[in-house]
Amino acid sequence: MESLIPYLIPTLLVVGTVVFMEWFAAWSHEHIMHGWGWRWHKSHHEPHDETLEKNDLYAVIFAIFAVGLFWIGSSWFWPLWWIAVGISIYGMLYFFMHDGLVHQRWPFKYIPRKGYLKRVYQAHRLHHAVEGRDGCVSFGFVYAEPIDKLVKKLQENKRKVDLDVLKDENQPTAAE
């Protein structure tokens, strides 16, 4: 057991960081990218011909953060190095799942027909089914709720938006 500890702690740090990053990425996608950070993220929800989009700056920020943790971890506090490994692994998962699988930002095309990959693919397509930043569902990149739950949430969000529009239309304006 004593000989496993030098491997166990780094493994737990890496796996824990990957799991945390999926939660954090989903949270920041919903609350930052679809909130005050929409100016960058909007490029991802609009059609474009460019290879890169302004939204890719978020990946650059996460990469700079990981590089900083590698540097601090190699010089002063070793656990940060393993956390940086977890962030980097998550970044690769994000690249393959989101940029590659879902948005086909690579030279070959693959659309999954069954299983986990199909669910992730469909969930993110449902995320883009809404025009604009409000009313979206499925903010994660590696985990996706079951599709029937997401469709139900999407329909509920649409009803809320429709009710909000009706409320606004029934409010008297300053000219009335």
pLDDT tens-place string over residues 32-82: 999 999 999 999 988 877 778 899 999 999 999 999 999 999 999 999 999
Average pLDDT, the chain: 86
In contact, 133 and 38? CB cutoff 8 Å: yes
In contact, 26 and 139? CB cutoff 8 Å: yes
In contact, 18 and 89? CB cutoff 8 Å: yes
Strand, helix or coil for residue 145: coil
Residue 66: count other Cβ atoms within 10 Å of its Cβ: 20
- What integer pLDDT is reported at residue 165 of this predicted model? 46
pLDDT digits (tens, 9 = 90+) for 135-171: 888 898 899 888 889 888 888 877 765 555 455 555 5
For the entire predicted model, the pTM comes to 0.81
